[in-house]
Amino acid sequence: MKVSSITSKLDKLYEFDRAPVTKDRLQGIGNFLGMYAGEHVAGTEFVIGILFVAHGVSVTDLFIGGFIGNLLAVLSWAFITSPIAVKERLSLYWQLKKICGPVLVFIYNIVNALMFCFLAGAMVAVSATAVGIPFNITMPSLGDLYPNSIGWVVTVICVGGVITAIAIMGFESLARFAKTAAPWMFLIFVAAAFNSFPKLGVEPGLGNFWQVANDTIWTGVAAPGQSQFTIWHVIFFTWLANAAMHLGMSDLSIFRYAKKWYYGFASAVGMFMGHYIAWIASGILYAAATSDAPGPVAFQAVGVAGAICVVIAGWTTANPTLYRAGLALQVASPNWQRWKVTLLAGLITTIAAMFPALVMRLLDFVALYGLILIPMGGIIFADFYLFKKAGLQSYYAEKHNIMFNSAAGITWLLLLVISLIANRVMGIELFFLPFPSWVMAVFMYLGFSVIQQKYLNKGLAGQQPNV
Amino acid sequence: MPPKTKTPWPKILLITAAVTGLLLTLVPSFLNWQGIIEPGPVNNIMLAGTIIWFSSAGFLFAKKKGS
């Protein structure tokens, strides 16, 4: 087959990237349940469970804090993200373009796409720890930041290549694969925990579970070189681990396919079966294992099935993340077809995955990634819910052909500077910054827009919109 | 006379296989923890469950989409 023929076929993979989703393309709740279950019973859950243990989370902090944080995350998706997605039916990027103008969206999308690529890179690295087992590759440990062998680099390239190829095929194929793998992955997490119980001395019937959990698994004492976590760390990390997706509105791109707004509650499958139970399970298997790398930890617990689970868990999360990265980059390069930009995103992802720092510092990276992207979610929220009530025009940049909406640009930049000062000067940890940043974004954008629309551009506000 | 309805045997077979695959993935480790079976064969049974699940559920989802 000629290359040009393959190219033209790939070009036909048009998926409403630049227009509202039409009624005939809306999807039932099953796809969203599968998508969220697949995405949040993921390779990173193996790492996060392990890192919670390393950060000295106690058993009550994990069980109570994890429950509260996950509940807050579900409510954020259901009451903030999905109602806007269902009403507008636009991807995050095209909605932002209408609000912020193409120049600001260009900058945002480059940052956003890089963040998505790094996140997908962490998942590729997690998969690679399992793929490398039969080849006796030296696995990275908690302290590793740089590639530690040629074997590791080659494994990452192979895994990254396969994941990129699947992301190019589009949303429906991703959802189908995630739907098939999700129930099995969840059971593997649970089965691995069961299989680790005898090694840890947990009696049949769970009679001494709390004692073993306190003494051996979540001891409440951080490992050397790791910061000490409290219940507040667990609540805020759990709630805002996916801050970019819910409060940051990235999942507008997903929920624009939903028939009803309440499909946002489908995220509960991912939060409770995925994050909550999977983080508990991975902590249990880590306590019974002799490695820091997710692949060997799962392999030691349940053999080959565990290693396969790590590969697939990384895969099903990396795929939608790469898909989002492709969408983000496409706005920045409108003349490129989506498959080309996804390929570029896949390349960046694969290179990032070669650095184990991405996995071993995953908690910090996840918090940073939410913090950088979350102000734009606040801006969308203000534009959608508050602008009409305040007598302001929504989609201001589109209506007035503005290339750079300075009200949005200043809001974003100021909040990044404030967050940087709060973290570096005042010593506030990254995990606690995204929510205040989101709230401040809502009010700052509203305030700046009042100044912009009612005082500075008074003449523009009275013009007919250019639709 | 009402038309005869055809029993969807392939679908029933696939669903049965998929559920069996899931049970084989979860149950052996639980039985191992309870001390009912030896730890030796547990991992192999789970691997068999994995293969059965993906071959049946994958086909089932693909079939459902096609129908």
Per-residue model confidence as pLDDT tens digits over B31-57? 999 989 887 888 999 999 999 999 998
* pLDDT at residue A5, rounded to an integer: 47
* Domain around B41: 10-66
B1 part of a folded domain = no
For residues A219 and A221, what is the distance between their CA atoms, to the nearest angstrom? 5
The answer to whether A294 touches A50, Cβ cutoff 8 Å, is yes
Q: Which residue of A has its CA nearest to B32?
A: A195
Residues of chain A with pLDDT under 50: 1-15, 462, 464-467
Amino acid at B6: K
- pLDDT of A333 reads 67
Does B39 contact A at CB distance below 8 Å?
Answer: yes
Q: Is residue B5 part of a domain?
A: no
* Residue B14 included in any domain: yes
B64 CB near a chain A CB, below 8 Å? no
Give the number of domains in chain B.
Answer: 1
Task: Tell whether B57 is covered by a domain.
Answer: yes
Compare CB distances from A194 to B33, B35, B54 and report the shortest one's residue. Answer: B33
Q: Is residue B52 part of a domain?
A: yes
- Residues, chain B: 67
Q: Which among A176, A195, A202 is the nearest to B29, CB-wise?
A: A195
CA-nearest residue of chain B to A173? B62
Q: What was the pLDDT predicted at A254?
A: 87
b/e map of A17-29 (b: 16 or more CB within 10 Å)? bbeebeeeebbee
pLDDT for the residue A9? 43
> Is residue B31 in a domain?
yes
Residues A34-71: tens digit of each pLDDT: 778 777 877 788 888 888 998 999 999 999 999 999 99
Q: Which domains does chain A have, with CATH numbers?
A: 27-371 (1.10.4160.10)
Res A417: pLDDT: 96
CA distances, A339 to each of A269, A295, A332, A394, B64 (Å) = 30, 30, 14, 32, 27
Complex ipTM above 0.85? Answer: yes
pLDDT, position B2: 67
Token readout for A38 is 């697949």
Chain B residues touching A204 at Cβ < 8 A: 33-35
B50 touches chain A (CB under 8 A): yes
Tell me what pLDDT residue A226 has. Answer: 83
| B61 vs A416, residue with greater confidence | A416
Look at residue B49 and tell me if it is in a domain.
yes
In this prediction, residue A466 carries a pLDDT of 38
> Has residue B28 been placed in a domain?
yes
Q: What's the CA angle centered on A283, arms A278 and A286, to 5 degrees?
A: 120
Indicate if the pLDDT at residue B62 is higher than 80.
no
For A273-405, where are the alpha helices, taking DSSP H only?
Answer: 277-288, 294-302, 304-332, 338-353, 357-360, 362-381, 396-399
Question: Distance (Å, rounded) from C-alpha A101 to C-alpha A184?
Answer: 44
Please return the burial class of A292, using the count of CB atoms within 10 Å of its CB with bins 0-12, 13-18 and 19+. buried
Q: Which residue of B has its CA nearest to A204?
A: B34
Mutate to test the interface with B, among A133, A169, A172, A180 (most CBs of B within 10 A): A180
**Cβ-proximal residues to A308 (8 Å cutoff; 6+ apart), any chain:** A130, B47, B50
Kindly compute the dihedral angle of the four CA atoms of residues A320, A252, A110, A420, in this order, to the nearest 10 degrees: -110
Contact A159, A250 (CB under 8 A): no
Contacts of A322 (CB under 8 A, 6+ apart): A116, A117, A120, A163, A164, A167, A342, A345, A346, A349
SS3 A390: coil
Q: For A205, name the nearest residue in chain B, comparing CA atoms only.
A: B34
Query: How far apart are the C-alpha atoms of A173 and A434, rounded to whole Å?
Result: 33
Q: What is the pLDDT of residue B28?
A: 93
Residue type, A174: L
Rg (CA), chain A: 22
